[in-house]
Copies of this chain bind each other. A is one copy, B any other.
Amino acid sequence: MGMTLGKIAELVGGQLSGDGEIVIEGVGSLTEAEKGEITFLASSRYRNQVSKTKASAIIIGEEVELPEIPSIRTKNPYLAFAQVMKVLVTPRKLPTGIDKTSILGQGVKLGKDVAIGAYVVVENGVVIGDRTVIFPGTYIGDKAMIGKDGLIYSNVTVREEVIIGDNVIIHPGAVIGSDGFGYATEKGKHHKIPQAGTVEIRNGVEIGANVTIDRATLGKTVIGEGTKIDNLVQIGHNVIIGKNCLIVSQVGISGSTVIGDNVILAGQAGLVGHITVGDNAIVGAQAGVTKSVPANTTVSGYPAREHRIAQRMNAQLFRLPKLFEQIKELKKEIEELKEKIK
Which chain A residues have a beta carbon within 8 Å of chain B's beta carbons? 27-29, 31-33, 43, 45, 76, 78-82, 85-86, 89, 91-93, 101, 103, 117-119, 121, 135-137, 139, 142, 153-157, 159-160, 169, 171-173, 175, 178-179, 181, 183-186, 188-194, 196, 206, 208-210, 212, 214, 216-219, 226, 228, 230-232, 234, 236, 238, 244, 246, 248-250, 252, 254, 261-262, 267-268, 270, 272, 274, 285-286, 288, 290, 301-303, 305, 312-314, 316-321, 323-324, 326-327, 330-331, 333-334, 337-338, 340-341
Q: In the complex, what's the smallest C-beta–C-beta distance from A171 to chain B, in angstroms?
A: 5
- Across the interface, name the chain B residue whose C-beta is closest to A318: B313
| Of listed A91, A118, A319, residue having the most chain B CB within 10 A | A118
Q: Is the CB of B139 within 8 A of A139?
A: no
Q: Which residues of B contact A103 (CB under 8 A)?
A: 101, 118, 136
Q: Which residues of B contact A79 (CB under 8 A)?
A: 184-186, 191
Q: Is the CB of A172 within 8 A of B175?
A: yes
Interface of A is mostly: loop
Q: Which residues of B contact A188 (CB under 8 A)?
A: 244, 261-262
Q: Which residues of B contact A178 (CB under 8 A)?
A: 153, 171-172, 208-209, 231
Q: Which A-B residue pairs are the 9 nearest by beta carbons?
A: A79-B184, A157-B172, A139-B154, A175-B209, A212-B231, A178-B209, A78-B184, A209-B212, A121-B136
Determine which of B92, B210, B244, B270 lies in contact with A268 in the assembled complex, contact meaning CB atoms within 8 Å: B270
Q: Is the CB of A246 within 8 A of B194?
A: no
Q: Is the CB of B155 within 8 A of A155?
A: yes
A231-B181, A232-B212, A285-B270 known; A323+B321 contact, CB < 8 A: no
